[in-house]
Chain A
Amino acid sequence: MTALGFLASRTLRRNPVRTALVVLGLCVTGALLLDMTMLAGGLEASLGQLLGRLGFAIRVVPKGTLPFSGDAQIPDADGLAAGIVGRPGVTAAVPVVATNVYVGGGRAAFASFALGVPDGGTGVYTVLQGQDLPRGGRAEPPDGTGAAVPVVVNRNMTRLDGVRIGDEVVLSGAPVPELSGSAGSVRARVVGVADFYVDLATQRSIALRTVDLRRVRGVPPGAASLILVRVSDPARVGAVVAWTNARDPRVDALSVGRFIARAGGRLTYFNQFALILSTLSLAVSFLLITAIVTLSLGERLGEIAVLRALGMTRVRVGAVIVLEGVALSVVSLPGAFLLGLGISGNLDAILRGAPGVPESLHFFTLTAAAVTRTVALLIVTGAAGGLYPAAVASRLGIASTLHAEVQS
């Protein structure tokens, strides 16, 4: 160990109770800093993880929108999807209709989010029990006289409404079928239970074939809310995006990165909130370190003068003091992380309980970037906190300080 590290560590152990109290304080401010760095990019990181699970590299949405953010439609989604799937590297282009339907015929009538997909096996959801939607097949007539259409429901519907595989329900575009207007209603049979990825905490979701959903909701033929594109070669994403945007100026083709950036742009209040609290946390950490190191220095001016007399330069004496600040930060890191993770878990649960938050999304996400940023900020704060007392120590006159010590 060098003389600097040796002196800094021994100085901190000199008054263990005081050091422990300061470290505890830094654990609290460090925990807040960690939480805020997790919050600052948490939703984007969580969204990125979710999108990674889904596996679609491109989302084509009506211009200026985000998926599932409104009723806007892509007028010729089927045609555009057919064009996209013919591009090099594209393995699938799935037009998805997203809307709401009313589910009746069971023990109760309730509204449900509905996804219309061309066929089963598109990967928009994952079947947990039973079967997926069949591939191919024809649309059933709107009067409900045909065979029941197959549907897949989410776990909320089974849990909250008692819907089971094999049950028959009626899907309609209005709470009362007579109000459905041009839309109709269909009889549906539950064939499977699935995880829909972006479900809200108590949201009911149902998936059925696009043709059936268009009929129930009166969606024009060929229209869809978005197109999900799967690409075999990530290097081709840019070309497919460019081709799609050029092919139809009414849409935005978003790569995962652009999608996250657009979503992040709508979440700036979280970043501002995190920035303000991070700044406060750093300010408190800085003041805590500066105060304690300055106080400690004031108690050992004679020792500093002796170190100088023994042959330590001004710069190295200053470095010892800065190192003390850094050491306080470093020692507090494990506690800060433990506390921060505990607090973020609780805060995340509270925020995710708010209406309109998909179950799979997290506000606080522990990423390598958040860890690195927190550690770096705390260490820099420790060093900055030691700068003022270091300047005081390095400016001390050796002779005058020794004289004052002897006189005291």
Chain B
Amino acid sequence: MTTGRDGAAGRADPAGRLVVSARNVAKHYEMPGGVVYALRGVSLDVERGACLAILGPSGCGKSTLLHLLGGVDVPTSGSVDVLGHDTARLSDGALARLRLFHIGFVFQRFFLLPMLTAEENVLLPMMEAGVPAAERRDRARALLGRVGLAARVHHRPGQLSGGEMQRAAIARALANQPQIVLADEPTGELDEATGREIGALLHDLSREGIAVVMVTHNPELAGMADRSIRMKDGAIA
């Protein structure tokens, strides 16, 4: 994995190990009070199986960077390549398919759909991806079992604890067997012990070849990553 502040930090990837490559990425927002510079020329490579933590104070641009890496937003300038695709050049449909099949998201507030059970939340991305019903049911059960929720598959989010909801969210992120998992403050709403369990779970994913990028305030979680970078004022410090 390489990181850097400018485009020169990027490098060729003859072995095909890079899953995400950001080059001199900037993100500006036009606001009523003027232009807000959320990211200023960030470059970053993430390799297959890496576990990267992005640290920094609130407002430093780490969540914005995560959104750009996940293709939910596009940079104002620079480029973000995900699995060889420049996200700014992809149509909405193509970007959505990239997220659906290759990227899993884990959010601070879990964002499980409250009207669905844990199992249905995991099933949903597979339904969208067209996975056959029997296979998706088996896969959902297996994923929920893996995150320790085998006995809670029929519970709705309101019936789960914070840690259980985040485990279900991780199972959902893994539903379509992604190559990249992006986690935005995954332990932000959890107590210390539960946060440690979630951190270990995410770290285990990287051992299986999934690239995991975590944005966090939590130094302990960052310490579980293979590598961490620190951001400040929209740039890598």
CB-CB < 8 A to B125: which residues of A? 310-311
A310 and B93 alpha carbons, distance in the complex (Å): 12
A303 and B113 alpha carbons, distance in the complex (Å): 7
Q: Given A3-B124, A306-B111, A313 and B72 touching (CB < 8 A)?
A: no
Does B73 contact A399, Cβ atoms closer than 8 Å? yes
> What 1/0 flags go to A292-306 for Cβ under 8 Å of B?
000000000011001
**In the complex, A10 has a CB within 8 A of chain B:** yes
A124 and B99 alpha carbons, distance in the complex (Å): 76
CB-CB < 8 A to A302: which residues of B? 109, 111
Does B115 contact A11, Cβ atoms closer than 8 Å? yes
**In the complex, A14 has a CB within 8 A of chain B:** yes
A316 and B115 alpha carbons, distance in the complex (Å): 19
B81-89, B100-108, B138-146, B219-227: which one contacts chain A? Answer: B100-108
CB-CB < 8 A to B64: which residues of A? 399
Does A310 contact B105, Cβ atoms closer than 8 Å? yes
Q: When A and B form their complex, what is the total count of cross-chain residue pairs whose Cβ atoms lie within 8 Å?
A: 79
CB-CB < 8 A to B120: which residues of A? 6, 10
A183 and B9 alpha carbons, distance in the complex (Å): 118
Does B72 contact A3, Cβ atoms closer than 8 Å? no
Does A311 contact B128, Cβ atoms closer than 8 Å? yes
Does B111 contact A397, Cβ atoms closer than 8 Å? no
Does A311 contact B73, Cβ atoms closer than 8 Å? no
**In the complex, A406 has a CB within 8 A of chain B:** yes
Min Cβ gap A291→B in Å is: 20
CB-CB < 8 A to A3: which residues of B? 124, 127-128
A313 and B98 alpha carbons, distance in the complex (Å): 11
For the complex of A and B, list the 9 residue pairs with the smallest distance between their C-beta atoms, beginning with the closest: A311-B100, A3-B127, A399-B73, A398-B72, A399-B67, A14-B115, A313-B96, A306-B111, A311-B99
CB-CB < 8 A to A312: which residues of B? 96, 100, 128
Does B115 contact A310, Cβ atoms closer than 8 Å? no
CB-CB < 8 A to B124: which residues of A? 3, 6-7, 310
Residue of B63, B96, B184 with most chain A CB atoms under a 10 A cut-off: B96
B110 and chain A: residue at smallest CB distance: A306
Cβ < 8 Å to A, chain B residues 115-133: 115-116, 120, 124-125, 127-129
CB-CB < 8 A to B99: which residues of A? 309-311
Does B108 contact A406, Cβ atoms closer than 8 Å? yes
**In the complex, A315 has a CB within 8 A of chain B:** yes
Chain B interface SS verdict (over half): helix
**In the complex, B154 has a CB within 8 A of chain A:** no
**In the complex, A256 has a CB within 8 A of chain B:** no
CB-CB < 8 A to B115: which residues of A? 10-11, 13-14
Q: Given A10-B116, A398-B67, A399-B64, A311 and B96 touching (CB < 8 A)?
A: yes
> What 1/0 flags go to A232-272 for Cβ under 8 Å of B?
00000000000000000000000000000000000000000
> What 1/0 flags go to A312-326 for Cβ under 8 Å of B?
111110000000000
Min Cβ gap A359→B in Å is: 54
**In the complex, B70 has a CB within 8 A of chain A:** yes
A10 and B127 alpha carbons, distance in the complex (Å): 14
CB-CB < 8 A to A11: which residues of B? 115
A11 and B103 alpha carbons, distance in the complex (Å): 25
**In the complex, B92 has a CB within 8 A of chain A:** yes
**In the complex, B97 has a CB within 8 A of chain A:** yes
A401 and chain B: residue at smallest CB distance: B72
**In the complex, B148 has a CB within 8 A of chain A:** no
Tell which of B101, B114, B176 touches A14, judged by Cβ atoms closer than 8 Å: B114
A6 and B72 alpha carbons, distance in the complex (Å): 24
Tell which of B63, B67, B116, B128 touches A310, judged by Cβ atoms closer than 8 Å: B128
Does A311 contact B116, Cβ atoms closer than 8 Å? no
CB-CB < 8 A to B116: which residues of A? 10
CB-CB < 8 A to B63: which residues of A? 403
A10 and chain B: residue at smallest CB distance: B115
**In the complex, A402 has a CB within 8 A of chain B:** yes
Tell which of A303, A314, A403 touches B92, judged by Cβ atoms closer than 8 Å: A314
A3 and B107 alpha carbons, distance in the complex (Å): 22
Residue of A13, A14, A402 with most chain B CB atoms under a 10 A cut-off: A402
**In the complex, A308 has a CB within 8 A of chain B:** yes
Min Cβ gap A58→B in Å is: 61
Does B111 contact A308, Cβ atoms closer than 8 Å? no
